[in-house]
Structure 1
Amino acid sequence: MLSITRRKLIYLLPLGAIWAPLTSIAQGFATFNRSKLRVVTKSGKHEFIVEIAVTDRQHSQGLMFRQSLAKNAGMLFDYKVPTSITMWMKNTYIPLDMIFIGNDGRVINVVQRAIPFSENVI
């Protein structure tokens, strides 16, 4: 199980998240490892099953082209070192909630229900 306080992550909740341009369709889609994630907040403990994006290819693909996402599912974008990133919703069919986590494990920003197919930078 992953601990959010020990990892430098961008945590994307049940409605997930997307980043960067699409990799070539000819290359096929990236695959992702999955893990349980427990988040502890003032309201209690919350558990999720998350896919983990670690490589550039995984970061680029994110949740694009997904028609649905299970409740309590999401994706973590692990950049290994603190970095500033931007995201968009191009080729994303479902609205996504995005939670940006700092190096110290605290929430920096939350974007709720990002608009599907939007090319606006988040």
Structure 2
Amino acid sequence: MTYFKTLFLSVVLLGAPWAHAQESAQMDLPRIKMSAGMHQIEAQVARTPDQRSIGLMFRKEMPTHEGMLFVFEQPSGLCFWMKNTLIPLTAAFISDDGTVVNLADMKPQTTDPHCALRPVRYVLEMNRGWFEKRGIKAGSKISGAPFDSAK
């Protein structure tokens, strides 16, 4: 079952217990530095199911060079949506070695699924258009932890 379907069923069946308690952006996640060519990225890291479920929800803005890296335990057919996310984002679905598999532009406050074209463990969300403006596309490499350890 894809992450999207699992998350959807969890929200429907469990009533999203975090939704009422969490109505502000999570800002205290660990941060890592990465790069895409000469372009620097500072990403908050969402590793736990709760951190990944909340993601970038409720944020009204995000600095240009910042993003969020979603880390999963194993590669799978991940899908993301934008419910309660207020800013437009682009998701980069990334393989273990840091290769961008595909990109998906995502519209705020929708439940439209945006999916990896093949199983991945990492998804990097940046402000919409960040990758395009820098010429980063499928096949481009992202470097830095955790991708450097895959070499």
TM-score where L is the length of structure 1: 0.71
CA separation of 1:91 and 1:27: change in aligned 2, threshold 3 A: closer
Q: What secondary structure, in the 3-state scheme, does the structure 1 residue paired with 2:43 have?
A: strand
Question: RMSD over aligned Cα, in angstroms?
Answer: 2.1
Q: Of the candidates 97, 101, 113, which is equivalent to residue 121 of structure 1?
A: 113
Q: What secondary structure, in the 3-state scheme, does the structure 2 residue paired with 1:57 have?
A: helix
Alpha-carbon contact 2:23-2:58 (below 8 Å) kept: no
Deviation string for 1:53-108 (max 9, x for gaps)?
Answer: 00000010000000000011000001132122111011011100110012332111
Q: Provide the aligned length of Structure 1 versus Structure 2.
A: 99
The residue correspondences of 1:64-75 to structure 2 (distance < 5 A) are 64-75=57-68
**Which has the higher Rg, Structure 1 or Structure 2?**
2
- 1:24 maps to 2:16: no
Unaligned residue ranges in structure 1 (runs of 5+): 1-18
- 1:55 maps to 2:48: yes
Distance 1:27 1:100 in 2: 26
Unaligned residue ranges in structure 2 (runs of 5+): 1-6, 115-151
Distance 2:85 2:22 in 1: 19
Deviation at 1:27, TM superposition (A): 5.8
Q: Of the candidates 81, 106, 109, which is equivalent to residue 99 of structure 2?
A: 106
Q: What secondary structure, in the 3-state scheme, does the structure 2 residue paired with 1:120 have?
A: coil
Larger helix percent? 2
Q: What secondary structure, in the 3-state scheme, does the structure 2 residue paired with 1:25 have?
A: helix
- 1:34 maps to 2:31: yes
Q: Show the counterpart of 1:95.
A: 88
TM-score where L is the length of structure 2: 0.58
Q: What secondary structure, in the 3-state scheme, does the structure 1 residue paired with 2:85 have?
A: coil
Distance 1:28 1:88 in 2: 17
Distance 1:49 1:26 in 2: 27
Residue type of the partner of 2:71? D
Distance 1:37 1:55 in 2: 20
Structure 1 runs of 4+ with >3 Å offset: 19-22, 27-31
